[in-house]
Structure 1
Amino acid sequence: MRTYRSDDEDSSRWEGFPFRAGDIVISTRSKSGTTWMQMICALLVHRTPDLPAPLSELSPWLDHLIRPRDEVVAALEAQPFRRVIKTHTPLDGVPVDARATYVVVARHPLDMAVSMYHQSANIDRERLRELTGAGEARVLPPLDEWLPRWVTRDSGYLDSLPGVLAHLTDAWHRRHEPNVVLVHYDDLRADLAGRMAELAARLHLDPPTPDLVEAATFERMRVRATELAPNAQGVLKSPRAFFRRGSSGAGREALGEAGLAAYDRRTRELAAPDLLAWLHR
């Protein structure tokens, strides 16, 4: 396995993880539908909109350094139901166990980047520094300056454009494996009930009832932001702001014609045409 590290994440925490039959691992890039897919899976497992615990407790983030690894693993070991585990690590940095199912959510990289830009302003950097020893304050330029730089920046950082497309390329190559499910964010937006039913079938769970589908909509999740946003340690300034918009197209709106042309050239350097056609459709 490859090892991925950032100021507040360390994928080596997956080493020796005690999998069990039925585990669901959600692997996404930041702001690509992670919490949405956690909610969908939790609803399918627990069969009620009234989840038995906050979402971040039901589906903890194993790589995150704000909690000791042993504490997270012990909490997962104590769960008597099917487990849903969050990671932002690509699958080449996670043990791929035949007993588990791996769900990778893809989002248009420009929409993901805009959402990440706004999320950065919603993080309490002082609190993050208390928990991890990292998390320096950042001064963001205006979005119309930041986004073109993000497109052209040559960086291996996971949330850079090269990092996003490397994550998705790895999942694209694995998409025909029986325990890997690749989901497009915009497919969830277009037909949430249908996509939840397909996912339930892949996970060998009962199909969703209408109340479960309603509970997974962006609007209902935003109303329940305090319960559902990943903020157990108080890292977010505003849980409600975590569910900022949830729609698509903001990235293309923020780039002019020249910026979109640069994005097109850059992505063609970084990923295969069939993946890009699927991702950008």
Structure 2
Amino acid sequence: MTDRKLYLGALTDNRRWDMVNMRPDDVLVVTPPKCGTTWMQTIVALLLSGDPEVETELSIRMPWVDIRVREMPEIADRLEKMTSRRSMKSHTPMDGLPLDDQAQYICVFRHPLDAHFSYRTHVRNLPVPWFDLWYPEDDPDRITFRRFLDGGPEGFDTDAMPLAHIIRHYQAAAALADRPNVSLFHYADMTRDLAGTFARVSELLDISHPPELMNTLVQAATFANMKANPERFAPSGGKGFFKSDDAFFHSGTSGKWEGQLTPKELAAYNDMMDAHLAPNDRRWLEYGATGHAPNQEA
């Protein structure tokens, strides 16, 4: 681990990265949950293969190293045997990952409230009771949002994705953003300009495809296409990992939290964001490059 921070949750353990022999051309997709992880992994898979019909099989071909569900020696061995360019996924903040000077780190963020409400839907689609304490299905006392605000950035709280963990993710990535191999993307920007996202990622990966093929790859990664083919694009699609693969791609929209919070809850969220982030950082973390909601004037 050396000087990396420890992120040890009920489901994840970033010490597992100690068993990965990093390669100079590795690609790591690093995000808080429900911020566009699978979307970015799909973009990377399409660009690396140049095949719009590529079998993504993300959980096997582009494994989530942190999660304890699969034995780490098996994952490390599978990664070691890969002869093609590798990509991996992590929900660990950058200060808890091995930092290679040449591997590419693609960090993706989303409005924290959109990520939170998407996560609420996500945990209901998991056939396990692990999240019931944080995300009770019946929540008349609004415990879920209180824990979102009160949870810490590491330890047991890590896997429940409280606001402090999202902020830590952003701060750790932003602190390294001056490196040529650490890049920050925003879900809102990906939604507004998917073709532009492909162009930027292809440049980072030093990959080029003819314009017609690139257009086809972009179409393959649209939300509509991924939702229409959930058994192909959902992690472990078709294998019963989720109650419903289709529900994994719930809506892909932003702003679902609007009107769902009380004035007191929204004020508490605003206070915490302002206490930890400078105004420009907060605007970017919430809305990406435009710095404002789609329905607001620039």
TM > 0.5 between the two? yes
Cα distance in structure 1, aligned partners of 2:6 and 2:132: 26
Q: Which moved more, 1:74-83 or 1:229-238?
A: 229-238
Query: What is the aligned counterpart of 2:274 among 246, 258, 268?
Result: 268
Contact 1:26 1:103 in 2 (8 A): yes
Q: Which residue of 1 aligns with 2:73?
A: 70
When residues 223 and 146 of structure 1 are mapped into structure 2, their CA distance, relative to the original with a 3 A threshold, is farther
Return the offset for 1:66. Answer: 1.2
Map of 2:227 onto structure 1: 222
Aligned to 1:184: 186
Instruction: State how far apart, in whole Å, the 2-side matches of 1:69 and 1:170 are.
Output: 25
Identify the residue that residue 17 of structure 1 maps to in structure 2.
20
The equivalent residue for 1:98 is 101
2:137 to 114, 136, 140: 140
- Tell me if structure 2 keeps the 8 A contact 1:125–1:235: no
Question: Matches of 1:143 and 1:180 in 2, distance apart?
Answer: 42
**1:181, distance to aligned residue in structure 2 (A):** 0.7
Give me the TM-score of the superposition, normalised by structure 2: 0.85
Change (3 A) 1:65 1:234: farther
Q: 2: distance between equivalents of 1:143 and 1:182?
A: 37
Q: 2:31 aligns with which of 28, 48, 51?
A: 28
Q: Distance in 1 between matches of 2:279 and 2:140?
A: 28
**Structure 2 contact 57–236 (Cα < 8 Å) conserved:** no
Count of residues paired in the alignment: 273
The worse-fitting range, judged by mean Cα deviation, of 205-214 and 22-31 is: 205-214
SS across alignment from 2:107:
strand
Residues 108-117 or 245-254, more deviating: 245-254
| More displaced 10-residue stretch of structure 1: 92-101 or 51-60 | 51-60
TM-score by length of 1: 0.90
SS class of match (1:254): coil
Gaps of 5+ in 2: 292-298
Q: Is 1:58 aligned to residue 58 of structure 2?
A: no
Offset at residue 202 of structure 1 (A)? 1.4
Distance 1:217 1:136, change over 3 A: closer
Note closer, same or farther for the CA distance 1:147–1:108 as it changes in structure 2 (3 Å cut): farther
Deviation at 1:229, TM superposition (A): 1.2
Asked if the contact 2:24–2:100 (Cα under 8 Å) also holds between the matched residues in 1, the reply is no
Q: Does 1:152 align with 2:155?
A: no
Matched with 1:130 is: none
* Distance in 2 separating the partners of 1:115 and 1:239: 15
Q: Structure 1 vs Structure 2: percent identity of aligned residues?
A: 34
How far is the alpha carbon of 1:272 from its aligned partner?
2.7
Query: Structure 2 CA distance, aligned partners of 1:221 and 1:143?
Result: 34
**Aligned-residue CA RMSD (Å):** 2.0
In structure 1, distance between residues paired with 2:206 and 2:218: 17
Partner Cα distance (2:126, 2:201) in 1: 31
Counterpart secondary structure, 2:88:
strand
1:87 to 86, 90, 100: 90
The equivalent of 2:294 in structure 1 is none
Deviation of 1:136 after TM superposition, in Å, equals 6.7
Specify which of 43, 47, 56 is matched with residue 44 of structure 1. Answer: 47
Question: 1:224-275 CA distances to partner (integer Å, 9 max, x unpaired)?
Answer: 2112212366331111111101111012332244432221111111223221
**1:49-81, Cα deviation, whole Å (9 max, x unpaired):** 211452222211111111111111222222222
Per-residue deviation at 1:10?
0.8
1:164 matched residue in structure 2: 166
Q: Which amino acid aligns with 2:235?
A: P
How far apart, in 2, do the equivalents of 1:201 and 1:144 lie?
48
Structure 1 residue runs of 5 or longer lacking an equivalent are 127-134
